[in-house]
Amino acid sequence: MDSSFGLLDGFAFVVFAVLIFVGVIIVVSLGKLPGQLAQKWNHPQASAINAMSWIGIATGGLLWPVAFIWAFTTPFGAKFPVKDERNPSSAAESDVAATRLTALRKPSDKETRP
């Protein structure tokens, strides 16, 4: 039985090391994702979402989907709306809305008298 380390053994070792490295990168990227999304959208519970995401990854992915969905929700009873950068509102949109509201108002008696 030959116990030498050949060229194919070295190639298999390199391939295995690359696969482990890529697997670690994927797990770390998925672990960070819900927390990053929550912080990006200024979720009031972003730190809890981040912690649940990492705990979910450590437990084999059991809690990770819950953290991922939680990052997309608005908490019940939040005193301020969650900032959503996907649909930014601008001053021009509010001006258009005010103009439409003014056009829909019923004219008063003073405006209709000659």
Each residue of 30-60: pLDDT tens digit?
999 999 999 999 999 999 999 999 999 999 8
Higher pLDDT, 109 or 53: 53
- Is residue 53 within 8 Å of 67, Cβ to Cβ? yes
Q: Measuring CA to CA, which residue among 79, 99, 80 is closest to residue 91?
A: 99
When mean pLDDT is compared over 2-11, 45-54, 78-87, the highest value belongs to 45-54
| Stated pTM of the model | 0.60
Which segments of 1-114 are extended strands (E)? none
